[in-house]
Structure 1
């Protein structure tokens, strides 16, 4: 096993424990990257100003440079440093924190969730994007179309995508941008979320293209991460039948799953200037693989980290990042996942009639379900 394969391995956590025992920050010869596995090292890398989210020589992946997907990617706050990161974040994060959980519950409850693997797939992947689209002021029909386009667009974020998928991602970026241009030009839209974001953004910038790119980014960040959170919670229920009862608090269940078996297993940082982290000297151009899932199970971060505890006191997690690039939509993602899981469980699905495999990816842990014959 290696730290990349681990993300979709049946049980990578003993391997992560082995890495932590070897040192919080070590060099992996085979992958030619530094690997951080301990909570201390992960925290230090995520907080360090010289550890950037993109390599300085390639701010946009070569495979998508020149098209709309590349233009969107290049303006995403999660893919930038400095003002290009702070400006959109200062507009979007405060407004996401104001979203009413009851409104999220209503929007999730209004969606038709059907039993079986196909219904789970739509609930995991399409549903959360439709909820975010509704919060931004799109109609249900537009939300369904946006869900399909987002599925195509996220292909531009994966190094595993082939040319057909990348071409579809470019087309999807064009169409998603068009949806937002029309929405922003509509004087009758009633979205408090979008109005708040626009007002905050206008205070620091008049670049509508950057605003639109980061609104598209809300969809792409929602798509896989929330799907993985819902899916891994279902796997937890399959593996632990004792949790399948009405006394189980779904919010606590989701909160512990995101720590114990997170949908985002790792992320990367690129060293922009010589620096020292956790006693190790790093050089410009070095690549760091940050094992968030390993840090979550570090005994220095959580007591008894290998035990799944619904009522875990002072739960700590790196799943949504930390520092300047911490996910701004953490509360929204948890709310959508909790509401969706409640709707799924209300159908009393035959969880024991499901099989699954993990979606091919370099950093995610996202189960795809199938019905047993």
Structure 2
């Protein structure tokens, strides 16, 4: 086990507790980086002005730097500091905070969700992006296309992607840009969300706005998928919660703390500094274990218990400080509407099996129908 493999391990939390016991901020020689595992260290790193989201010498990953996906990546507010981060954030964040939850509920309810693994996959990976696309003014057909393209684009964000996936990601970035150019030029677009974003971004470069709208899709795609999937796992592990009367907001609030879809993030030290009593050098890399900090007894009492009605819940899942995720409310709203729809169908959750999607930081469950898996095995044996 190491802190990166842990993200997709069946149960990484005892290992995280071991890391916290060994020191909140410690060097991992095997990975050649520092690991922040305690709530105190994580908070300090996320707040420190000399800890940036990208290394100074490589603002865009080399694997995509020469393509369109790299051009988009280089303009994302979540991958920048200073004005390149503040400007798009100040344009987009207020709109996401004022989303009409009833509209989100209506958009989620309009989608057909089936109570099997394929239905869960679509609800997790396709539905959330379609909802955001609709909020921006895309038609349902356009939303489905945007969702498919977003699935291809996010490959450029993963170091695990191969050359073919990266080529597809570049093409997806180009197509997504085209869709957004047409949307921004449409005189009949009546999206209040988009109108507000454009008004607040009036002085910014159009290509930066387009890049960050693509970023909104990509962040929605993985983080919300993981949140919905881990909520389904909580329902599987706690059958008493499988009721339409379950307070879904409380359920999701505890899921995102207890078993977050984003387990870790990284920070890159730009100037020699001291954090949590440790001297760091310029170019040091820090792996920030958000999921470990959530389970720190210094942050939450009885942290290893799953308590939907937990008082004074605290969490780093959506980050903190200047890079705190602006889409937290939207993600929880979409996930909540989706989980309520799943509960209404009363699916046979015990028939599902799952594994975690390969990732260096995400914890996203992929479900299978155990009956179909068993049938496939029997057929293979007969042949």
User: Does the TM-score normalized on the shorter chain lie above 0.5?
Assistant: yes
How big is the shift at 1:275? 0.5
Secondary structure at the aligned position of 1:267 is classed as strand
Are 2:360 and 1:370 aligned? no
Out of 343-352 and 285-294, give the one that drifted further. 343-352
Partner of 1:60: 60
**Cα distance in structure 2, aligned partners of 1:247 and 1:16:** 34
How big is the shift at 1:25? 0.1
Contact 2:125 2:225 in 1 (8 A): yes
Partner of 1:287: 285
Unaligned segments of structure 2, at least 5 residues? 372-383
2:324 to 317, 321, 326: 326
Q: What is the CA deviation profile of residues 231-283 of structure 1, one whole-angstrom value per residue up to 9, with x for unaligned ones?
A: 00101111111222233211110110000000000000000000000000000
How big is the shift at 1:206? 3.3
Partner of 1:99: 99
Runs of 4+ in 1 over 4 A off after TM superposition: none
**Cα distance in structure 1, aligned partners of 2:200 and 2:124:** 31
Q: What is the CA deviation profile of residues 149-169 of structure 1, one whole-angstrom value per residue up to 9, with x for unaligned ones?
A: 000000000000001100000
Secondary structure at the aligned position of 1:308 is classed as coil
Contact 2:244 2:340 in 1 (8 A): no
**Cα distance in structure 1, aligned partners of 2:337 and 2:242:** 16
Partner of 1:345: 343
Secondary structure at the aligned position of 1:293 is classed as helix
**Cα distance in structure 2, aligned partners of 1:63 and 1:77:** 20
TM-score of the pair, normalised by structure 2: 0.96
Contact 2:156 2:169 in 1 (8 A): yes
Partner of 2:353: 355
1:268 to 262, 266, 269: 266
Contact 2:244 2:343 in 1 (8 A): no
**Cα distance in structure 1, aligned partners of 2:255 and 2:13:** 14
**What does 1:250-261 correspond to in 2, within 5 Å?**
250-261=248-259
Secondary structure at the aligned position of 1:270 is classed as strand
Secondary structure at the aligned position of 1:336 is classed as helix
How big is the shift at 1:304? 1.0
Are 2:83 and 1:83 aligned? yes
Partner of 2:210: 212
Contact 2:243 2:343 in 1 (8 A): no
Secondary structure at the aligned position of 2:72 is classed as helix
Partner of 1:6: 6
**Cα distance in structure 1, aligned partners of 2:131 and 2:308:** 26
Partner of 2:233: 235
Q: What is the CA deviation profile of residues 19-78 of structure 1, one whole-angstrom value per residue up to 9, with x for unaligned ones?
A: 101110000010000000000000000000000000001000001012110000000000
**Cα distance in structure 2, aligned partners of 1:330 and 1:19:** 28
**Cα distance in structure 2, aligned partners of 1:245 and 1:91:** 39
Partner of 1:182: 182
Secondary structure at the aligned position of 2:201 is classed as helix
Secondary structure at the aligned position of 1:75 is classed as coil
**Cα distance in structure 1, aligned partners of 2:244 and 2:173:** 42
Q: What is the CA deviation profile of residues 102-128 of structure 1, one whole-angstrom value per residue up to 9, with x for unaligned ones?
A: 110001001111221111000000000
**Cα distance in structure 1, aligned partners of 2:210 and 2:233:** 35
**Cα distance in structure 1, aligned partners of 2:97 and 2:361:** 26
Partner of 2:38: 38
**Cα distance in structure 2, aligned partners of 1:198 and 1:161:** 33
Contact 2:87 2:204 in 1 (8 A): no
Secondary structure at the aligned position of 1:11 is classed as coil
**What does 1:11-26 correspond to in 2, within 5 Å?**
11-26=11-26
**Cα distance in structure 1, aligned partners of 2:136 and 2:170:** 22
Contact 2:73 2:211 in 1 (8 A): yes
**Cα distance in structure 2, aligned partners of 1:169 and 1:160:** 13
Out of 167-176 and 242-251, give the one that drifted further. 242-251
Secondary structure at the aligned position of 2:74 is classed as helix
Partner of 2:297: 299
Are 2:155 and 1:191 aligned? no
